Amino acid sequence: MSSKASGSGTIRISNMRFWGKHGANIGERNWAQAIDVDVEILIDLAPAALSDELSDSIDYSEVYSVCSQIVTQQSYTLLEAIADRIATALCQELKVIEVIVRVRKPRLLEGATPEVELRRINQKDE
């Protein structure tokens, strides 16, 4: 096995569940509901693979914290807005090349689960 690493890769954090007051229908924001979030973050994994240093990667706990804060501390009408705020926040990290955010309201529609997926390419100031 070579000790050389190269190229981009994906960090996924799946099945994060938070409770927030979100919704478009009357009364939905009166109580906290489950909101599930998945993120996929495309970055160059080579530096972290070679160094084995967290500073060369993305701290998973920080990603979780960003998602938690957006879902639990703010209120939105649409899942699209939640996904946008998470993507925008995660793209503040310069290592991020691209992010995909999925936001779900489990079992909202008589057992059906609506899900929104948003993809954002980081527009770094170069």
Residue 125, SS3 per DSSP: coil
Residue ranges per domain, the chain?
8-121
CB–CB of 88/69 below 8 Å? Answer: no
CB–CB of 68/37 below 8 Å? Answer: no
Q: Is 105 a catalytic residue?
A: yes
Residue 34's pLDDT is what? 96
Q: How far is CA 23 from CA 80, 97, 101, in A?
A: 11, 30, 18
CB–CB of 82/114 below 8 Å? Answer: no
Residue 26's pLDDT is what? 81
Catalytic residue among 4, 21, 95, 105: 105
Q: Using CA atoms, how far apart are residues 17 and 103, in angstroms rounded to an integer?
A: 10
Report the half-sphere exposure of 108 (CA within 13 A, side-chain side). Answer: 18
Residue 125's pLDDT is what? 57
Residue 94's pLDDT is what? 87
Tell me the fold of 8-121: GTP Cyclohydrolase I, domain 2 (3.30.1130)
pTM of the model: 0.89
Residue 69's pLDDT is what? 98
- For the chain (126 residues), the mean pLDDT of every run of 10, in chain order, is 64 98 89 96 94 95 97 96 98 94 90 94 75
